[in-house]
């Protein structure tokens, strides 16, 4: 049986969507969280094979925002390829968040609210 205390949250999304930042913030709130580098894998369900989280959260970010956040030196086609690689995880995500218009604190708040409202089997 999964409880709020034993919950494992998996985080997927393109580069600079906020996965590492959110993982650190969740850990600071006592939530076990794993940043899953699914965007770099050709294995569609790597997120499940490596982490098999109780909750999968997809953090999305548009191409222009990724460049602004991390000064990434990449092309839009590379971002699009990450989106393609993430399609399986996006389809299976328990929560999808477009992080473009959200602050770090707003993302954290929405995720914590989602987790607190979740019923555990």
- Predicted confidence (pLDDT) per residue in 48-99, tens digit: 988 999 999 999 999 999 999 988 889 999 999 999 999 999 999 999 999 9
Distance of alpha carbon 102 from alpha carbon 32, whole angstroms: 22
Helices (H), the chain: 19-28, 46-50, 63-70, 76-85, 87-92, 104-116
pLDDT score of 73: 86
Cβ atoms < 10 Å from Cβ of 119? 4
Cβ atoms < 10 Å from Cβ of 65? 17
- Between 59 and 37, residue with greater pLDDT: 59
Using the Cα atoms of residue 93, residue 95, residue 101 and residue 105 in order, give the sign of their dihedral. Answer: negative
What is the dotted CATH code of the domain comprising 8-116? 3.40.50.300
* pLDDT tens, position by position, 101-114: 999 999 999 999 99
Domain boundaries in the chain? 8-116
Q: Which residues contact 81 (CB under 8 A, 6 or more apart)?
A: none
* pLDDT tens, position by position, 10-32: 999 999 999 999 999 999 999 99
């Amino acid at each position: 049986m999964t409880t709020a205390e034993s919950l494992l949250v998996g985080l997927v999304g393109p580069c600079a969507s906020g996965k590492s930042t959110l993982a650190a913030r969740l850990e600071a709130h006592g939530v076990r969280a794993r940043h899953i580098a699914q965007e770099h894998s050709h294995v569609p369900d790597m997120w499940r094979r490596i982490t098999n989280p109780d909750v999968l959260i997809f953090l999305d970010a548009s191409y222009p925002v990724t460049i602004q956040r991390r000064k990434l030196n990449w092309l839009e086609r590379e971002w699009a390829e990450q989106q393609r690689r993430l399609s399986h995880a996006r389809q299976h995500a328990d929560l999808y968040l477009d992080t473009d218009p959200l602050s770090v604190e707003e993302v954290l708040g929405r995720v914590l609210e989602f987790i607190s409202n979740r019923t555990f089997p």
